[in-house]
């Protein structure tokens, strides 16, 4: 899937393997070994960009403290049921969107006793760790 014309040959950009495996930049003859596999032979790659240009709950975008993106980690609990339990969350936030003085922060949250709790917040001025 997804071929592009290069000067010398057709090059495959993305490969969908079985079962449910996606490879980006994986060797043309190989199949992806994981659910998402990104491979590059170029210096300083691969890079994953998460971009959010949408207005959100804080009003017109851009606004201070807009959520830029979240990576969540889910797994089964001892009951093995559905829905899965969210155990970890990593969130990017635009703390200050003022032109020329923009600040970002990263918020780390983990599950404790059935509730997702913020355990660390990192920004240019400080790092806060919540011990529970």
Residue 80 has pLDDT above 80, yes or no: yes
State how beta strands 36-38 and 21-24 pair.
Answer: parallel
User: Is residue 30 pLDDT above 60, yes or no?
Assistant: yes
Per-range mean pLDDT, top range of 9-18, 25-34, 59-68, 88-97: 88-97
Predicted confidence at residue 26, as pLDDT, reads 67
Which is nearest to 93 in space by CA: 129, 111, 118?
A: 118
pTM of the model: 0.73
Q: How far is CA 128 from CA 24, 33, 68, 76, 104, in A?
A: 36, 37, 20, 29, 14
Determine the average pLDDT of the residues in 71-100.
91
């Amino acid at each position: 899937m997804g071929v592009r014309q290069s000067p010398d040959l057709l090059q495959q950009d993305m490969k969908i393997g079985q079962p449910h495996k996606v490879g980006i930049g994986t060797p043309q003859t190989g199949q992806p070994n994981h659910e998402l596999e990104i491979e590059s032979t170029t210096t300083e790659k691969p890079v994953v960009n998460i971009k959010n240009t949408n207005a959100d709950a804080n009003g017109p975008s851009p606004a201070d403290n807009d959520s830029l993106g979240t990576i969540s980690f889910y797994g089964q609990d001892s009951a093995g049921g559905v829905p899965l339990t969210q155990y970890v969350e990593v969130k990017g936030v635009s703390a200050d969107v003022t032109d020329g003085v923009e600040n970002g922060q990263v918020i780390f949250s983990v599950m404790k006793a059935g509730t997702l709790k913020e355990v660390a917040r990192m920004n240019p001025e400080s790092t806060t760790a919540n011990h529970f």
